[in-house]
Amino acid sequence: MPAAAALKVLIVDDQFSVRQMTRMTLEQLGIRNVYESENGKDALNKASVQPLDLIISDYNMPEMDGLALLRAVRGHPAVRKLPFILLTGRGDRELVVKAAQAGVNNYLVKPFTQVTLREKIEQVIGKLS
Partner 1 sequence: MASLDELKRTFFDECGELLQDMETGLTDLQDGSGSEDTVHAVFRAVHSIKGGAGIFGFEGLVEFAHVFETVLDSVRHGTLHQTPEVFTVLLTSSDMLSDLVGMSRSGEAIPAGHASECKQALEQLLGKGPAGSSNGGEDAGDFAGLDFKPVPAGGGDDDFGFTPVRSDDADGPAGDGKKSYTITFRPRPEMLRNANEPLYILRELRGLGALDLVADLSGLPPLSDIQPDQPYVSWSGTLRTDAPRKAIDDVFEFVVGDCDLSVVEEEPPPAAEAAPPPEMHDDVAVAAPAAPVAEHKKPGRSQPAADAEGGKGGSANKKQATTTRVDLDKIDRVVNMVGELIIAQAMLGQVVQGLSEEVNGRLSQVLDQTIHHTRELKESVMSMRAQQVGSVFQRMPRLVRELCMKTGKKVRLEMTGESTEVDRTIVERLADPLTHIIRNSADHGIESPEDRLAVGKSEEGTIHLSAAQRGGRIVIEIKDDGAGINTERVLRKAKEKNLVDQDVSLTDDEICNLIFLPGFSTADTVSDISGRGVGMDVVRRNIQDLGGRVTLKSERGKGMTIQLALPLTLAVMDGMVIKVGENIYVMPMSSIVECLHPGSSEAYNLLNTRGMLKLRGELVQLVYLSDLFDVKSNARGILESVVIITEAGDGAKFGLVVDELCGHQQVVIKSIEDSYGRVPGIAAATIFGNGKVALILDVEKLSELSAESMMPGNSTQPVVVSATTH
Where does this chain bind partner 1 (CB under 8 A)?
Answer: 2, 14-18, 20-21, 24, 27, 38-39, 41, 44-45, 48-49, 51-53, 58, 60-63, 68, 71-72, 75-83, 89-91, 93, 96-97, 100, 103-113, 116, 120, 123-126
Q: Report, in Å, the least distance between residue 13 CB and partner 1.
A: 8
Min CB(52)–partner 1 separation in Å: 8
Q: In the β-sheet with 33-37, what is the strand arrangement from edge to edge?
A: 33-37, 8-12, 54-57, 84-88, 106-109
For the bound state, the minimum distance from the C-beta of residue 56 to partner 1, rounded and expressed in Å, comes to: 13
- Kindly provide the b/e burial profile for residues 62-95, where b requires at least 16 CB atoms within 10 angstroms of the residue's own CB: eebbbbbbbbbbeeeeebeebbbbbbbeeebeeb
